[in-house]
Amino acid sequence: MNMKKFVAFLLIFTLSLSLVACGKSEQKESSDDSSTPVEETKDKPFEGTTLSVLLAYGGAENSFDKFTEETGIKVEYLEMSTGAALAKLQAEDGKTEADIWFGGGVDSYLNARDLGYLEAYKSPNASAINPQYNDKDGYYSGLALVPAGWIVNEDLLKEKGLEAPKTWEDLADPKYKGEVIMADPSISGTNYAIVSGLIQAWGEEKAWDYFERLNKNIDFFAKGGGEPLEKVAAGEFAIGIVAITGGTYSVGETSPTSVVYPEDVIPWTPAPIAIFKNTKNLEAAKVFVDWYLSKEGQEVLREADARIMARDDVDAPELMKDLDKSKLIDFNLELMGSQRDEILARWKELVGEK
């Protein structure tokens, strides 16, 4: 008999919960709105403000505490790949709750800019950054540089009696057949940047001829930029074409992998930062961008995740000392953005169903 009462109680409890849940959250929302600056001091004018960050920069969350300490601005973040974030922005029609977009694929930023979701802001600190990394109208700025390279599984190479490739040309050598994995460039922004970068570096003819040969070594294209790393770490493939960040190195702590930079040319993308047009905390968001583009902010961010920072006056992290910056491709991001459809169509024709 107790059972009946229990079930009846559950029924009523749950149904009412579903109603209460709606009411509760609205209350919560309104209380959030009132959390505008409480105290105004001179050096921390935005003390008490909370900025909401969409994050696609592994490890960067470790730098937020320092920022909060310096400025009094609190940071909440949500990790989301830039492709997913762009889909979300479209679904919300740009009315996002987030204030800042932090890191990720620059092609999504270009897209979002064209859809009118971003706020133009030229930080005074942006002048210290190579203009190649920034949007010319200030819709985004470059935080760091993400070079492309390879992650190799040493065990597998040893087992097959192979050496790690040294140049892109090596990678297309038939001896690596079936051992190379790369993400589909139509899905992964970084991998598209690699394709586009090589075209810009070598010219159309040479690049497409190369892709045709490289394609023969690739069994199938991964469905996400993070997958080649996983598969190489798991020993499924010997060589993965990846974007290199601190995270790429840390995989080596638990699996027999190491990071290799191509010796001929190194494609790259900037890890950008942008402010959303829909932000309600524009001034605080500007403080945020300024801080991360300052020398101090850049150094803090480098400690949080080892990357080559956008500012020239910030040294490369210890991990990446062996990266030869002169090998970086002279990369035109605008061209990369405008040629996307054309390049990907030709790419699809080349690789077919893979």
Partner 1 sequence: MKSNITNEERANLALSFDSILDKFIFWIVVISLLLFILYPVVMVISTSFFYRGTFTLDNYKNLLNSNNLKLIKDSLFVASISSILSTIFSFCIALFTFVERKKIKKLIYRALMLSMISPPFVSSLALIILFGRRGIITHNLLGLSVNPYGWQGIVLLQTLGGIPLSSIMLISALHSIDTRQILASRDLGATTTQTIKNIVIPAIFPTILSVLFLSFTMNLADFGTPIIIGGKFKMLATETYMTIFSSGDLGKAAAMSILLIPPAILSFVFYRKNITNIDNRATGTKALGSENYDFQLPIWLKFVLTFITVSFFIIVVLKYGSIILSAFSINTSGKLTFTLKHFEEVKFAYTPAFLRSIIFAVIAGFVSSVIGILLSYYTHRRKIKGMSFIEFVSALPYIIPGIFFGLGYIVGFNKEPLLLTGTTAIVILNSTFRHISVANKATNAAFTTIDTRIEDASRDLGASKFKTITNIIFPLLRPVFLTSFINTFTACMTTVGAIIFLVSPKNVVASIVMFKNITNGQYGPASVMASILILITVSVNLIAIKLLNTKEMY
Q: Which of residues 115-174 bind partner 1 (CB under 8 A)?
A: 154-156
CB 223 within 8 A of CB 184: yes
With binding defined as CB under 8 A, does residue 4 bind partner 1?
yes
* 99 sits near partner 1 (criterion: CB under 8 A): no
Q: Write the DSSP string, 294-346.
A: SHHHHHHHHHHS--EESBTTSPPPGGGTT--GGGB----HHHHHHTHHHHHHH
The span of 132-140, 162-170, 221-229, 313-321 binding partner 1 (CB under 8 A) equals: 221-229
Residue placing its CB nearer to partner 1 in the complex, 89 or 265: 89
Do 180 and 237 meet the contact criterion of CB atoms below 8 Å apart? yes
Please, which of residues 315-354 interact with partner 1 by CB under 8 A? 353-354
- Considering the rule CB under 8 A, would residue 273 count as an interface residue with partner 1? no
Smallest separation (angstroms) from partner 1 to the CB of 212: 17
How many residues line the site for partner 1 (CB under 8 A)?
72
SS3 52: strand
Return the closest-CA partner of residue 82 out of 109, 116, 113.
109
Q: Specify the stretch interacting with partner 1 by CB under 8 A; choose among 137-145, 203-211, 230-238, 324-332.
A: 230-238
Three-class secondary structure of residue 240 per DSSP: strand
184 interacts with partner 1 by CB under 8 A: yes
Q: Which residue bears the tokens 């960067």?
A: 60
3 state DSSP class of 203: coil
Q: 19-58: which residues touch partner 1 (CB under 8 A)?
A: 21-22, 24-26, 28-29, 52-53, 58
Among residues 36, 40, 41, 91, the one that binds partner 1 under rule CB under 8 A:
91
Q: Select 18 or 326, whichever has its Cβ closest to partner 1.
A: 18
Closest contact distance (angstroms) between CB of 330 and partner 1 is 27
Smaller CB separation from partner 1, 108 or 298 = 108
Candidates 338, 168, 136; CA nearest to 267 is: 168
Asked if 284 interacts with partner 1 (CB under 8 A), we say: no
Q: Is residue 102 a contact partner of residue 60, using CB atoms and an 8 Å limit? A: yes
Q: Are 180 and 328 in contact (CB under 8 A)?
A: no
CB of 312 to partner 1, least distance (A): 27
Report 60-89 residues binding partner 1 (CB under 8 A).
Answer: 76-81, 83-84, 86-88
Q: Give the tokens for residue 275.
A: 């402010």
Q: Binding of partner 1 at residue 254 (CB under 8 A)? A: yes
Stretch of 120-128, 129-137, 243-251, 265-273 lying at the interface with partner 1 (CB under 8 A): 243-251
Q: Considering only 142-150, 181-189, 208-216, 296-304, which stretch makes contact with partner 1 by CB under 8 A? A: 181-189
* Alpha-carbon distance values, 67 to 44, 63, 123, 143 (Å): 11, 7, 17, 15
Q: Are strands 50-55 and 74-79 parallel, antiparallel or unpaired?
A: parallel
CB of 130 to partner 1, least distance (A): 27
Token pair for residue 40?
């105004």
How far is Cα 315 from Cα 214, in angstroms, rounded to an integer?
34
Residue from the set 49, 63, 108, 190 that interacts with partner 1 by CB under 8 A: 108
CB of 203 to partner 1, least distance (A): 26
Helices within 136-222 (DSSP H only) = 154-160, 168-171, 189-202, 204-217
